[in-house]
Amino acid sequence: MIERLHTGSRMSKIVKHNGVAYLCGQVGAGDTVEEQTRDCLARVDALLEEAGTDKRHMLQAIVWVADMADFAGMNAVWDAWVPEGHAPARACGEAKLARDVLKVEVIVTAALPEG
Question: What does the pLDDT look like over 28-60, one tens digit per residue?
Answer: 999 999 999 999 999 999 999 999 999 999 999
Q: What angle do CA 31, 34, 40 make, to 5 degrees?
A: 90
**Average per-residue pLDDT for the chain:** 97
Give the DSSP letter string of 7-28.
E-SS-EEEEEETTEEEEPPB--
Which of 3.30.420.40, 3.30.1330.40, 3.40.50.720, 3.90.930.12 would CATH assign to domain 2-111?
3.30.1330.40
Q: What is the pTM of this model?
A: 0.95
CA 108 to chain centre: 4
Q: CA separation (Å) from 23 to 2, 70, 88?
A: 13, 23, 14
